[in-house]
C-alpha cells in the first residue's frame, strides 16, 4: 500500500472516530492495525512469514466500504482474529501491549461463550431451511448432496445469529466435515461451490472468497501430500 493511500486511510479513520462515516478497504484497515516491523522483531521467523503472507493476501482487498464506528470495529476484530490464530496479536498491534491483551481477552471470552450452533440446531431444520438446502443441492448439479447441503445451512444459521466471523469459523467445520466424509479431491469442488453460495448470500466478499478458497486448497494439498498425517 502506498504512502498516499495510508494517509488517506488515517484521515477516513479519524472521521469514523469522530462519529461520522468513512470509506475504508480491508487492505487499509489491515494496514492500520497490523505493525509488520513489530511482528518481525517479536515473532519467530515461521510466525512472521505466516503473518506476512496473510497481510499480503488482505492487501489485495482494495474495495472501499462505507463504515461507521461499529462497522469499523467489527471489521477490525474480524481481521485481528485471523492474525491472532497465527500469533498473539498484541505483539504486533503497534499499540500498548497491555491494552491490546485486554482487548484480546475480551474477544476470546466472547468467542468462548458462543452457543455451539450444532447443539442449538440439534439436526432440526425449519421448512424454509430445508427448502433452501434443496435449492443449494439441486443447483450444484450433483456436486453437493442433500445431506451436505443440510450441513451447510448451519453456516447461514450461524451468520444470522452471530455474524460473519462466526459463520466463517462454522464453514471451516463444514469443510472438515466434507473432507472427512467425501475425501480430499471431491471436497475441493464442493468447498469451492459452497464458498460461491456464501458470496451470493453476501456473507463474504469476492476477495474473502478467494482467500478462503486458497486456504482450503492449501489445506487439501497438504493432506494429499501427507495422507497419513
Q: Which residues form the domain of 17?
A: 3-112
The pLDDT score that the predictor gives to residue 55 is 93
123 and 43 share a domain?
no
22 three-state secondary structure: strand
150 and 87 share a domain?
no
30 and 68 share a domain?
yes
Query: Measured between alpha carbons, how far is residue 137 from residues 34, 80, 147, 179, 200 in Å?
Result: 40, 34, 9, 17, 15
pTM equals 0.56
| Tens of pLDDT, residues 44-59 | 999 999 999 999 999 8
Mean pLDDT confidence for 175-181? 88
| Tens of pLDDT, residues 26-43 | 988 898 889 999 999 999
| Tens of pLDDT, residues 77-129 | 888 888 988 998 888 987 655 445 545 565 655 555 554 555 555 456 778 88
Q: What b/e sequence results for 173-202 when a residue is b if at least 16 CB atoms lie within 10 Å of its CB, and e otherwise? A: ebbeebbeebebeebbebbebbbbbbbeee
**How many structural domains comprise the chain?**
2
15 and 101 share a domain?
yes
- Of 93, 112, 131, the last residue of a domain is 112
108 and 127 share a domain?
no
Amino acid at each position: 500500500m502506498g504512502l498516499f493511500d495510508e494517509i488517506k486511510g488515517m484521515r477516513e479513520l479519524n472521521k469514523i472516530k469522530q462519529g461520522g462515516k468513512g470509506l475504508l478497504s480491508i487492505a487499509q484497515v489491515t494496514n492500520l492495525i497490523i505493525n509488520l516491523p513489530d511482528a518481525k522483531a517479536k515473532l519467530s521467523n515461521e510466525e512472521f512469514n505466516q503473518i506476512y503472507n496473510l497481510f499480503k493476501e488482505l492487501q489485495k482487498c482494495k474495495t472501499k466500504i462505507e463504515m461507521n464506528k461499529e462497522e469499523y470495529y467489527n471489521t477490525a476484530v474480524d481481521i485481528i482474529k485471523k492474525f491472532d490464530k497465527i500469533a498473539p496479536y498484541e505483539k504486533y498491534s503497534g499499540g500498548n501491549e497491555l491494552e491490546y491483551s485486554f482487548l484480546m481477552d475480551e474477544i476470546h471470552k466472547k468467542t468462548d461463550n458462543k452457543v455451539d450452533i450444532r447443539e442449538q440446531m440439534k439436526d432440526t431444520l425449519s421448512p424454509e431451511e430445508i427448502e433452501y438446502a434443496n435449492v443449494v443441492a439441486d443447483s450444484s448439479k450433483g456436486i453437493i448432496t442433500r445431506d451436505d447441503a443440510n450441513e451447510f445451512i448451519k453456516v447461514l444459521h450461524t451468520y444470522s445469529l452471530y455474524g460473519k466471523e462466526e459463520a466463517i469459523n462454522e464453514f471451516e467445520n463444514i469443510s472438515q466435515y466434507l473432507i472427512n466424509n467425501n475425501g480430499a479431491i471431491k471436497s475441493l469442488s464442493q468447498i469451492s461451490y459452497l464458498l460461491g453460495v456464501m458470496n451470493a448470500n453476501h456473507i463474504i466478499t469476492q476477495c474473502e472468497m478467494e482467500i478462503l478458497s486458497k486456504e482450503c486448497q492449501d489445506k487439501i494439498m497438504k493432506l494429499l501430500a501427507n495422507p497419513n498425517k
